[in-house]
Amino acid sequence: MTLFLQQLVSGISIGSVYALLAVGYALVYSVFSFTNWAFDAFMVVGAFGAFYAITDFKLPIPLALLFAILFTMLVSVFVERMAYRPLRIREAPRLFMMISAMGANMSIINIINLQFGGHFRNFPQITGETLSVGGIKIGMMDVFAAVFSFITLILLWIFLYRTKMGLGIRASALDLLTSGIMGINNDMVAIIIFGISGILSGVAGVFYGIKYAVFPYLGLVTIKAMIASIIGGLGSLPGAVVGSLLLGILETLVSGYISSEWRDLFTFSLLIIVLLFMPNGLFGKSTKEKL
Amino acid sequence: MKKLLSILLVALLLIGTLSGCSSKKELKIGFNTQLTGPDSYIGQAAKIALEERVEEINKAGGIGGYTLKLITYDSRSEITDAVAAAKRLLEQDKVHAMIGPEWTGAAVPIAQIANDSKIPVIATTASNVSVTVDDDGNVYPYMFRTCFIDPYQGYALADYAYVDMGLRKVASLTDISAAYSVGIQKYFKDHFEELGGEVVAEEGYQANDQEFRAQLSKIDQTDAEAILVPTPTYRDIALIAKQGAALNMGVIYLGVDGWVAEELLEMAGPELEGSILTSGVSSDQPQFAEFNKVFEEKHGIKPNVYAYYALDALEMIVYGANESLKAHNEITAQGIRDAIENMKDVQLFTSKMTMEPDTHNPHNKPALIIEIKDSNWHQLKMFEPES
């Protein structure tokens, strides 16, 4: 039983980081109907930003995290401006935007790799404490990361459902063209959406860096978040969160009880099964009602 | 305008072609390494070290009128890219010899390409047996290596764990996607059980995994006294040790030469306190102190064993080239190969080397047993294979 609970707790802590990324995917997809493959790079920018803000600029940790998150937001908006908007304005097919995203992703990661080197960097330790409840052990930093992730997601929900701007974004998600005709500035929507998704990936990158290590390829995990957001229903925010937690828990349970060698097989099989029976994912009610 | 552009282009092309026709004699050395990708730390220091050494040799007049030319391609830590880089170096650039790759997965397919093109390839840290011999034990004539082989590493580690440390129950956490890792786990297990020990849990993970708590929690439920982690990269063990510490596991780890990188000590020195590993070389050996210091001051990064082994490979080629000159009055790929196959007690960067002609493994390459203590490497013992 202890082992089960231990795996469950680990799974939730992994899932909470997936959730940030999956929501970012969902957000961009819901409005612009394309998958932002540059997320991987944004995560890396967040992690490196926080690391160098602390070690080189000597900023205090909370300020460094804030700096990294805002910096990632700017990079995200910049990529939207440079790599997506020109395509969007010229009405290029969605697929081209995805390719453009992949290009942006590889460029950013390679620049970071060549500029800073591919080695691991240890994030300055914030807390090494371990919380132990009834034999179940979890790092304090994991608890903090999970709590912070969920607070970020709740703030996002409030923004989308309780503010005028959020209403505008939801309108765009419903129909980008019509909302544009009705007076919503789509370029502004794009900036906000990419700003938010930049913040989400920045937070995920910072936590990933703290939890594991800072290196140019830490963003490989975004593929898992992508799967989570598809399982949840691509474009659905609650779906992305549920999908992420499910995936995190499934992965640890398979690793813990069956074998880690089977983990990816189970993960991808789950994806196929979900899509076979529910082509819109768990929460993808219909393509019209996304946010 | 268009006309002008095309004339310019043609002129540029001509210049390019003509410059290739110069009569300058060159000894071309290929370097197939990982400069980007998750394991880019492996190639970055090695590339600088090789370039520096090549420049040094050229400044001193080259080798018998030949100027050394290093051609480096990035394998991005991908087998397909490593194979493509090897093909380009061996078939298009027609180098005299190639250094790299650094890992077994890429070295095995490249052995065949080396054979076909009849150009010697010196794998650096690819330690699986199958890199230099086929399944029937026949040596690949053009494939060599600078490091020791896995059976010996697994054997030495199991021996030390059982006899010197008195361990009886060990768990293993193996990268199942790496032949290197799977091989060492097997050799360790075989000898450890032969001695009377028990491997109580065998867990696995896959390359580039970052999350190990599920496997560690499972191992925590057993009575393992130590965890064998035969990982090909220090990244894995750094994360494993940190996550093990977060789970308050309080075990020590047994490791291999894949661990060896200064970054590991910075990443997880305290978490790995008391852990034991085997390695062919160790950067704390006094003979490297001066080199390390100068290198780090000049380039801002620390040299690592991959750089040492790459330099060993370069010295092997330089030796082969000199021998080829003596025997044939010119440097040929075949001449270099023949000389390397028969080298005896040749001083390289790390140590003297004798090549075993029937296996193309360095003869009697000792395995160092190293302890991580106070976030530093400490050599405990040297294992000399029985010859």
User: What residue in B sits closest to A112 (Cα-Cα)?
Assistant: B36
d(CA B341, CA B337): 6
Residue B1 has pLDDT above 70, yes or no: no
B379 phi and psi, to 5 degrees?
A: -75, 125
User: Cα dist. B359→A178, B87, B127, B130 in Å?
Assistant: 72, 24, 12, 10
Interface residue B37 vs chain A (CB under 8 A): yes
Instruction: Work out the percent of chain A whose per-residue pLDDT is above 70.
Output: 97
**Is A117 in contact with B41 (Cβ distance < 8 A)?**
yes
Instruction: Work out the percent of chain B whose per-residue pLDDT is above 70.
Output: 93
Closest by alpha carbon to B316, among B292, B345, B291, B290?
Answer: B345
The pLDDT of residue B8 is 62
Interface residue A129 vs chain B (CB under 8 A): no
Query: What confidence tier does B372 reach under pLDDT thresholds 50, 70, 90?
Result: very high
Residue A290 has pLDDT above 80, yes or no: no
The pLDDT of residue A267 is 81
Residue A58, token pair as written in the block? 């000597």
**Substitution target from A110, A114, A247, A260 for chain B, most B beta carbons within 10 A:** A260
Average pLDDT, chain B: 89
How buried is B211 (Cβ within 10 angstroms: 0-12 exposed, 13-18 middle, 19+ buried)?
buried
Could you give the domains of chain B? 24-148+289-353 (3.40.50.2300), 150-279+367-383 (3.40.50.2300)
Interface residue A252 vs chain B (CB under 8 A): yes
Average pLDDT over residues A242-253: 91
Residue B22 has pLDDT above 50, yes or no: no
Chain A contact set for B40 (CB, 8 A) = 113, 117-119, 216
Query: Which has the higher per-residue pLDDT, A252 or A137?
Result: A252
**Substitution target from B47, B182, B217 for chain A, most A beta carbons within 10 A:** B217
Task: Give the one of B211, B217, B238 whose C-beta lies nearest to A120's C-beta.
Answer: B238
Average pLDDT over residues B102-125: 93
Query: What confidence tier does B339 reach under pLDDT thresholds 50, 70, 90?
Result: very high
How buried is B60 (Cβ within 10 angstroms: 0-12 exposed, 13-18 middle, 19+ buried)?
exposed
Interface residue B47 vs chain A (CB under 8 A): no
**Is B210 in contact with A255 (Cβ distance < 8 A)?**
no
Chain A contact set for B268 (CB, 8 A) = 122
Residue B368, token pair as written in the block? 């160092």
**Strands B276-279, B367-373: pairing kind:** antiparallel
Task: Give the one of A118, A138, A252 whose C-beta lies nearest to B41's C-beta.
Answer: A118
The pLDDT of residue B55 is 96
The pLDDT of residue B140 is 95
Closest by alpha carbon to B278, among B161, B192, B109, B362?
Answer: B161
Chain B contact set for A10 (CB, 8 A) = 211, 213-214, 217
| Residues paired with residue B278 on neighbouring β-strands, in sequence order | B369
Contact pairs from chain A to chain B, CB under 8 Å: 104
**Substitution target from B210, B216, B260, B305 for chain A, most A beta carbons within 10 A:** B210
Question: Which of A256-265, B121-130, B191-200 shows the lowest per-residue confidence on average (mean pLDDT)?
Answer: A256-265
Question: Which of A45-49, A119-123, B12-16, B48-52 shows the lowest per-residue confidence on average (mean pLDDT)?
Answer: B12-16
**Is B215 in contact with A138 (Cβ distance < 8 A)?**
no
Closest by alpha carbon to B107, among B184, B28, B32?
Answer: B32
Rg for chain A, CA atoms, rounded: 19
How buried is B88 (Cβ within 10 angstroms: 0-12 exposed, 13-18 middle, 19+ buried)?
middle
Residue B73, token pair as written in the block? 């391609």
**Is A6 in contact with B217 (Cβ distance < 8 A)?**
yes
Query: What confidence tier does B385 reach under pLDDT thresholds 50, 70, 90?
Result: low
Residue A286 has pLDDT above 70, yes or no: no
Residue A289 has pLDDT above 80, yes or no: no
Instruction: Work out the percent of chain A whose per-residue pLDDT is above 90.
Output: 23
Query: Which has the higher per-residue pLDDT, A1 or B57?
Result: B57
d(CA A205, CA B332): 51
d(CA B221, CA B41): 35
Contacts of B318 (CB under 8 A, 6+ apart): B57, B63
Q: Give the Cα-Cα-Cα angle A21, A22, A25 (nearest 5 degrees).
A: 90
Distance from CA of A147 to the nearest CA of B (A): 18
ipTM above 0.90, yes or no: no
Question: Which of A276-280, B61-65, B330-334, B338-342 shows the lowest per-residue confidence on average (mean pLDDT)?
Answer: A276-280
CB B31 within 8 A of CB B95: no
**Is A216 in contact with B215 (Cβ distance < 8 A)?**
no
Contacts of A208 (CB under 8 A, 6+ apart): A17, A43, A47, A218, A221, B210
Q: Give the Cα-Cα-Cα angle A209, A8, B215 (nearest 5 degrees).
A: 65
